[in-house]
Amino acid sequence: MCAQWPNRYIPGGRSAQITDQPGIFIAFTVYVIAVEEVHWRIHIGGWLPSWLHSGREHHLIHHDRPTGRYNVFLPLFDWLLGTAKD
Which has the higher per-residue pLDDT, 77 or 4?
77
Q: What is the DSSP letter of 57?
A: H
pLDDT at position 54: 85
Sketch the domain layout of the chain as residue ranges.
Answer: 21-81
How far is 51 from 5, CA to CA, in rounded Å? Answer: 47
Model pLDDT for residues 33-63, shown as the tens digit of each residue: 999 999 999 999 999 999 888 888 888 888 8
Is residue 8 within 8 Å of 16, Cβ to Cβ? yes
45: enclosing H helix or E strand: none
Average pLDDT (18-37) is: 85
The pLDDT of residue 45:
92
What percentage of the chain has pLDDT greater than the value 90?
28
Query: Does the global pTM surpass 0.85?
Result: no
